[in-house]
Amino acid sequence: MKVKDILQNKRRRGEILRVRAGDTVAAAVKIMVENDTGSVAVYDGEHFAGMLTFREVLIALEKHGFDKAAAADCGGLIDEERGGCATPEDGVDQIRNLMTSKHIRYLPVVQEGRMTDVISFYDVARSVAKAADFENRMLKEYIRDWPSGEGDDEDDAA
């Protein structure tokens, strides 16, 4: 399974929620709450700078207090070390390892230098579970239709 397969299984598709690097964290949180999402893409002009998630917001709140964190620029909260991105051709094992090792819940999908979508850890888990359910059903069908072995020529040859 590849990222492009996960994107086909996503329930919610639409525009990528964005903020500018100079926008306040309070503005970004408002967008996240209004759209019931845990992340927004941060852009510095036309350049994708990274993902701002509720985790970075909570870390800033704890570190700087409410007023300073709410007034901070979104671009200043991007954690470069936790960053990462996927391409549509990346395998699910590759991105699952990236997401778990760096604690990434929302992974941007980049194609030809542009961010085209975002997949969440939930999207990955849902797609993997769906594929496993399908394989399980196919195996059960195969086993149920297994020949009984009566009249096998191998037993007669011995």
The pLDDT score that the predictor gives to residue 150 is 60
- 30 pLDDT more than 90: yes
Contact 124, 96 (CB under 8 A): yes
Q: Do the strands 39-44 and 18-20 form a parallel or antiparallel pair, or are they unpaired? A: parallel
Whether residue 83 lies inside any domain: the answer is: yes
Highest mean pLDDT among 24-33, 51-60, 64-73, 134-143: 24-33
User: How many structural domains compose the chain?
Assistant: 1
Q: How far apart are CA 77 and CA 83, in angstroms?
A: 12
- 84 pLDDT more than 90: no
Q: What is the mean pLDDT of the chain?
A: 83
Whether residue 55 lies inside any domain: the answer is: yes
Whether residue 130 lies inside any domain: the answer is: yes
Whether residue 151 lies inside any domain: the answer is: no
Residue-wise pLDDT for 95-121, tens only, equals: 999 998 888 888 999 888 788 889 988
In the chain, the percentage of residues whose pLDDT exceeds 90 is: 22
Residue 53, C-beta contacts closer than 8 angstroms, at least 6 positions apart: 38, 39, 105, 106
Structure tokens that stand for 4 in this block? 């492009």
User: Which whole number is the average pLDDT over 10-31?
Assistant: 85
Whether residue 16 lies inside any domain: the answer is: yes
Which domain covers residue 102, as residue numbers?
3-145
Whether residue 152 lies inside any domain: the answer is: no
Q: What is the pTM of this model?
A: 0.71
CATH number reported for the structural domain that contains residue 86 in this entry: 3.10.580.10
